[in-house]
Amino acid sequence: MPLASDKLDAVATALVDRISAAMSAEDLVALKTERVETATPASTLASQWLADNAAILESATSTAAGEPGKRKSESVRAST
């Protein structure tokens, strides 16, 4: 599914794309079920999912920075 906004920078777009690709329908159903059954805030469940899938975030920030294995901020520091 395409992004709803074209105002996101490359890093944010890469993160959203990676999360969308990694999150299965089963993940979404499980998160919704937990939300309904436990009244856990959606932000807490989302944060936990992201923590459990941290490699997705690292990969996305590295890709968006244009240097595999480096975050964008590391690339900027290295060039200054």
- Collect contacts of 19-23 with beta carbons under 8 A, ≥24 apart: 19/50, 19/53, 19/56, 19/60, 22/53, 22/56, 23/49
Indicate whether 3 belongs to any domain.
no
What is this structure's pTM? 0.58
Q: For the chain, what is the domain count?
A: 1
Indicate whether 49 belongs to any domain.
yes
Amino acid at 10: A
Indicate whether 26 belongs to any domain.
yes
Indicate whether 15 belongs to any domain.
yes
Indicate whether 68 belongs to any domain.
yes
Indicate whether 37 belongs to any domain.
yes
Write out the chain's pLDDT in tens, 80 residues: 555 677 888 888 888 888 888 888 999 999 999 999 999 999 999 999 989 888 876 765 566 555 444 434 433 334 43
Indicate whether 5 belongs to any domain.
no
Amino acid at 61: T
Residue 75 is part of which domain span? 10-79
